[in-house]
């Protein structure tokens, strides 16, 4: 199993930083990262879910699977509410 992603170090996954977070996550995926540890995320809104799905699509486009660990509880709840929790890799 890959180590938690050192390239993805975000404290927030919100609308305010979504563009930068998208770029950072896509760069990490392109560099070969396969596991994102979201344990350092202190603020998250529905943008986090959109980002996770976008990163997952990028990984799949490269023939990889992406796993997420320590997903914030509110993001996990949103994924279940919207019925997309099965689309997100969970370690």
For residue 78, the domain's CATH number is 3.30.750.24
Confidence of residue 88 (pLDDT cuts 50, 70, 90): confident
Q: How much is the pLDDT for 91?
A: 52
In a domain, 17, yes or no: yes
In a domain, 77, yes or no: yes
pLDDT at position 7 over 80: no
Average pLDDT value for the chain:
87
Q: In terms of Cα–Cα distance, which of 46, 53, 35 is closest to 72? A: 46
By the 8 A CB rule, do 10 and 17 touch? yes
- DSSP tally for the chain: helices H, then strands E: 3, 4
Tell me the mean pLDDT in the region 12-40: 93
In a domain, 7, yes or no: no
In a domain, 23, yes or no: yes
In a domain, 3, yes or no: no
Domain count, the chain: 1
In a domain, 4, yes or no: no
């Amino acid at each position: 199993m890959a180590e938690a992603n050192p390239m993805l170090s975000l404290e927030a996954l919100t609308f305010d930083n979504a563009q930068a977070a998208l770029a950072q996550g896509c760069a990490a995926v392109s560099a070969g990262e396969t596991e994102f540890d979201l344990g350092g995320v202190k603020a998250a809104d529905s943008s986090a879910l959109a980002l996770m799905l976008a990163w997952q699509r990028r990984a799949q486009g490269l023939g990889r699977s992406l796993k997420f660990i320590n997903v914030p509880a509110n993001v996990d709840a949103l994924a279940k509410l919207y019925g997309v929790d099965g689309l997100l890799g969970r370690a």
